[in-house]
Amino acid sequence: MDIRIFNNTEEIAAAASEIIISKVKSCPDAILGLATGASPVATYKKLIAAYEAGVISFKDVKTFNLDEYCSIPATDKNSYYTFMHENLFNFIDVLEENVHVPNGNPENAEEYCAAYDESIKNAGGIDIQVLGIGRNGHIGFNEPSDAFTAGTYKVKLTESTIEANKIYFESENDVPREAITMGVQSITNAKEIILIAEGKAKAQAIHDMIKGEVSPSCPASILQKHNNVHIFIDKDAASLL
Ligand code: GLP
């Protein structure tokens, strides 16, 4: 694991975006795996700046997002589809047809999820996967459990995740209880992974991910087994290491 501890958001975003920018430069049709949440926002800003400066183009890039809430439409202000457009896609030249955010309300979840994994595979697999981490060690929406998950699937969110996500919703009752998420296996199939985390609230999860045993009770701990992972964190998130 390439573990780097930075002073602030700006430094983390500079390091993370540098990896993505150099990938898109050398491979203009790169496949990017993207995450929502606060953690990658500053990195996305740097990607937008690089696009605006003419350093890179996303016109041949394909993107696949990790997850999406169930029970709200893609057009909802809190959907991950909306989040990605407001924080990245609307400001770069990626083609809408090359953007993939899971449908949170598929008619047949099982078939839909299998097809989502298939489309990642058919695209050639994810070159770089951006990840955040939940306070309980989740990646995507893979919550702590008894076994590592495989492909994309529909998941019930834990109370801890619902609690963490409620700041975005008017009331706790509005927070979706289920989501469609890439499974741990689909995430770790990525050729390269950049996990970003900041703040004391993430310190235990970061500790367990790096120092704990590889166990589905901390889904992110599986990254210890991946051969090309960057962990970019601030001092607070690193405080229990
Ligand atoms: C959500 C998302 C994850 C994200 C996590 C952390 O649960 N499903 O993909 O990594 O939140 O979010 P944040 O970066 O806002 O702390």
pLDDT at position 221 is 98
Report which protein residue has its CA nearest ligand 1's atom 12.
37
Centre of ligand 1 to C-alpha 5, Å, is 19
- Measured CA to CA in angstroms, residue 202 lies from 94, 107, 163, 220 at distances of 31, 35, 14, 12
Handedness of CA 142, 29, 3, 197 (dihedral sign): negative
- The pLDDT confidence band at residue 128, using thresholds 50, 70 and 90, is very high
Q: H or E element: which one contains 186?
A: helix 184-188
DSSP for residue 88 = T
| Cα–Cα nearest to 223, from 153, 152, 142 | 142
| Residue 23 near residue 30, CB atoms below 8 Å | yes
Give residue-wise pLDDT tens across range 7-31: 999 999 999 999 999 999 999 999 9
- Nearest alpha-carbon partner for 9 in 210, 200, 138, 197: 197
pLDDT digits (tens, 9 = 90+) for 160-177: 889 888 888 988 888 999
pLDDT, one tens digit per residue, over 188-214 is: 999 999 999 999 999 999 999 999 999
pLDDT attached to residue 112: 98
Half-sphere exposure of 10 (CA within 13 A, CB side): 1
pLDDT on residue 160 = 85
Evaluate: CB of 44 within 6 angstroms of ligand 1: no
* Residues marked as catalytic: 67, 136, 138, 143
Model pLDDT for residues 26-83, shown as the tens digit of each residue: 999 999 999 999 999 999 999 999 999 999 999 999 999 999 999 999 999 999 999 9
Answer yes or no: is pLDDT of 150 > 90: yes
Neighbours of 9 (CB within 10 A): 17
Percent of the chain with pLDDT over 70: 100
Q: Is 65 in the pocket of ligand 1 (CB under 6 A)?
A: no
Short-list 152, 137, 142, CA closest to 237: 137
- Residue 184's pLDDT band (boundaries 50, 70, 90)? very high
Cα(136)–Cα(99) distance, integer angstroms: 29
Question: Is 176 close to ligand 1, i.e. is its CB under 6 Å away?
Answer: no
Q: What is the pTM of this model?
A: 0.96
